[in-house]
Structure 1
Amino acid sequence: FIDLAIVGTDELIAAGLGDALRRSGIAVVGASRDASKIEWSKSFAKELMAEAGIPTARSESFADAAAAKEGLLRWDAPVVVKADGLALGKGVTIARTLEEAVEALATPPANSGRVLLEEVLEGEEVSLQALVDGETVVALPPARDFKRARDGDTGPNTGGMGAFSPTAVLPDDQAQALADETIVPIAAALKKRGMPYRGVLYAGLMKTADGWKVLEYNARFGDPEAEVMLPRIEGDFAKLLFALGEGRLAEYVAAEPIRFSKRAYVDVVLCAENYPGTPKIGMAVEGLDRLPADVLAFHGATKRGPGGDVLVSGGRVIHMVGSGDTIADARERAYAGAEHVSFEGKFYRSDIAQQEVAVA
């Protein structure tokens, strides 16, 4: 018997798995297919943001890449090219020239289906996730992630190369107030449309010179942010999510207010050779049995071999998460963990959380 289901991947949420499980009488943390359109259609998300008065980048939506190419005549570089649908975190290109934008429009996933052009925002990015039950919104610990494949935020976009929490850019004690500005109006707009949201809503935010602006929404836990945010939530997390799944979130947090640990966490993602292209797979992963103290290993793309050994099965293989009293301590432990685990072709960024340590 299943008491609680947490739908964790974007394609399953978009396929309506949460709806099917709810029809079976199961408590579900996972948006409906209709409500999750806020992630699987960037155009819908922009429409909803306009309706709810959410500050965001100026954008223009096009039926296909050919129309967007014509529309480029109205835009100056740099410009963001966004595939409208799901793209495993790889559907966004920041084109520094119009020639780069044309190239992006001719390349998957932007060359198939609806596409958006968007202004480039400058500032510091933060990920803010919240539990949402209708119009009840409870902020979770903020985090920062690293999307580019290589050090110095260079290379192609990925599903995420690392993350850390907490962050000075959005301190914990300001998280709920910002969720009230950027997530509560979206929850209200969805409910008004007859598609109430029940699950985790992720807001990708940019702190600009003009204030906070929303880059995107995801209808699920962010990855790699979840790996550094979830360990910071104190109390009985299972009971908290069960209350959300049953539609009792407001009642539960009134009796058991959510609390964040002061401990810091840093996630360094170990990737397979050639990621974010087609990764090399099948190699043995070694060292997981001798991790340093205060280091967790979250499996991202592994499987068991015939002999029981752990094998690489995808691009982002293992998340090495270090914890400590400070970001500097947690970072040191995460990288120690990264050195302990080995597989052929392993690579990772060496600058995760570096800027937070530098300003601490």
Structure 2
Amino acid sequence: MRVLVIGGGGREHALCWSLRKSARVSELFCAPGNAGIAEIATCLTVEQTSLLDMLRVVHEVAPELVVVGPEIPLGVGIVDALNAEGVRVFGPTQAAARLEGSKSFAKQFMQRHRIATARYTVCQSLLEVRDALPDFTAPIVVKADGLAAGKGVVIAADHAEAEAAAVDLLTLGGTLVLEEFLEGEELSFFALCDGTTAVPIAAAQDHKRLLEGDQGPNTGGMGAYSTDDLLPNALRDDLLREVAQRAVDGMRAEGTPFRGILFCGMMLTERGPMVLEFNTRWGDPETEAILLRMETDVLDLIDASIDGTADRLHIRMRPGASACVIAASAGYPASPRKGDLIHGLDLALPDDAVIFHAGTTATPEGVVTAGGRVLAVTAAAASLRDALSGAYGVINQIHFKGMQFRRDIGHRALSNG
């Protein structure tokens, strides 16, 4: 089977790595890919914000399957266009992808379909923000309505900071969401959806803040881990029934069936699990951790979603744990530097460790940084402590100028025993 993956980050490297393990994949392409993906797939240049350019690549490759990784191609309607041409494609339609593409739509959708989430107000001007702020107790969550690469969220310590954040975020799209701040444990719950049925995949916990101790600015994610203990059976069943399946039922009832990966960003509060956000694709860096544990052929998941047979699918995960640590470039997230030579990529890896490339490019001098998050160093083991030891054992042998990484990934789980 000829397969084309659209995207070029750590998530797409993990997807390509998983697809390469499938005996059914004979040829693998990725657009645009990166230096790491180029070692296992044929990489092609593409502009991911341009529907016409993505279609050009599809026509050149003539794949039997297209797998869409990032949110932007989904938002511009690549799945709709390929469906219209009869091309087999994995991912939600543009209308279904609004669950991620518009925070206001998602909040209103959850309210319509009785999916637990934080109290909120949608604002379209600074005047509306000022009118709404007295209804919220600090801290206050301020969210850009549209896609913001994981960085369009500000947790404001007081009303003045919330107003200042609103001024900045309103420039991104003219609409924002004010939310009550929820306290508890965060959890990323992934479900495979086929338009009718949602089935659980796994859970992971992300680390959004740049610095250790969960300090510093929000990022796209500085690391993640996945363990058996994160998703006890009772919690899995609750999230499946009350969140993922309700979302699938609601989207189908509204005439926009959801097919693909539903990423449910949850907060486990004293009032019960509540949705922080939906993503309509594999998360990053959670995907790197989860796919390293997945024993089921990833093509089986894709086929079940496209063919409407998710109810017959049993997804097997390797027992134990996995951990992913992000190596980020100097200046990330505000102004990431590019072009720094990466040393240590040729080191011999343990059997259960993989270096997924997130923002890299190959040059005559060697592989250099080409984005904010550069590498996603991932390892699996019987325990989280051992998985972390494996990941840190590798990342400590890699270096480039200004390299940043957190040394406390998984700290909450380790402190809880």
Q: How far apart, CA to CA, are the structure 1 residues paired with 2:97 and 2:172?
A: 23
Structure 1 position 93 matched with structure 2 position 154: yes
State the 4+ residue runs in structure 1 displaced beyond 6 angstroms: none
Partner of 2:113: 52
Q: How far apart, CA to CA, are the structure 2 residues paired with 1:174 and 1:210?
A: 14
Query: For 1:59-208, what aligned pairs fall within 5 Å after superposition?
Result: 59-108=120-169, 112-166=173-227, 168-171=229-232, 174-208=235-269
Q: What is the CA-CA distance between 1:243 and the residue it aligns to?
A: 3.0
Q: Specify the SS of the correspondent of 2:390.
A: helix
* Contact 2:203 2:230 survives alignment (8 Å): no
Q: What is the CA-CA distance between 1:177 and the residue it aligns to?
A: 3.9
How well do the aligned residues superpose, as a CA RMSD in angstroms?
1.6
Q: What is the CA-CA distance between 1:175 and the residue it aligns to?
A: 2.3
Q: Specify the SS of the correspondent of 1:143.
A: strand
Q: Specify the SS of the correspondent of 1:106.
A: helix
Q: Specify the SS of the correspondent of 2:396.
A: helix
Name the CA shift for 1:178/1:112 in 2 (closer, same or farther; >3 Å).
Answer: closer
Q: TM-score, normalised by structure 1?
A: 0.94
How many positions carry a matched residue from both structures?
355
Partner of 1:239: 300
Q: What is the CA-CA distance between 1:263 and the residue it aligns to?
A: 3.1
Q: What is the CA-CA distance between 1:169 and the residue it aligns to?
A: 4.2
Q: What is the CA-CA distance between 1:111 and the residue it aligns to?
A: 5.8
Q: How far apart, CA to CA, are the structure 2 residues paired with 1:290 and 1:250?
A: 42
Matched to 1:295, the amino acid is A
Matched to 1:282, the amino acid is G
Name the CA shift for 1:109/1:271 in 2 (closer, same or farther; >3 Å).
Answer: farther
Equivalent pairs: percent with the same residue? 38
Q: How far apart, CA to CA, are the structure 1 residues paired with 2:370 and 2:170?
A: 22
Q: Specify the SS of the correspondent of 1:222.
A: coil
Question: What's the CA shift string for 1:33-92, capped at 9, x where partnerless?
Answer: 001101111111011111111111000001134421332233332111111110000111
Q: How far apart, CA to CA, are the structure 2 residues paired with 1:65 and 1:18?
A: 35
Unaligned runs of 5+ in 1: none
Q: How far apart, CA to CA, are the structure 2 residues paired with 1:325 and 1:30?
A: 32
Query: For 1:244-259, what aligned pairs fall within 5 Å after superposition?
Result: 244-251=305-312, 253=313, 257-259=314-316
Query: For 1:216-227, what aligned pairs fall within 5 Å after superposition?
Result: 216-227=277-288
Q: How far apart, CA to CA, are the structure 1 residues paired with 2:292 and 2:376?
A: 13
Q: How far apart, CA to CA, are the structure 2 residues paired with 1:330 and 1:109?
A: 41
Query: For 1:34-53, what aligned pairs fall within 5 Å after superposition?
Result: 34-53=95-114
Q: Specify the SS of the correspondent of 1:56.
A: coil
Matched to 1:201, the amino acid is L
Question: What's the CA shift string for 1:265-313, capped at 9, x where partnerless?
Answer: 10000000110011110011111110431221111111111x1621100
Q: TM-score, normalised by structure 2?
A: 0.82
Q: How far apart, CA to CA, are the structure 2 residues paired with 1:109 and 1:335?
A: 39
Partner of 2:371: 314
Q: Specify the SS of the correspondent of 1:107.
A: helix
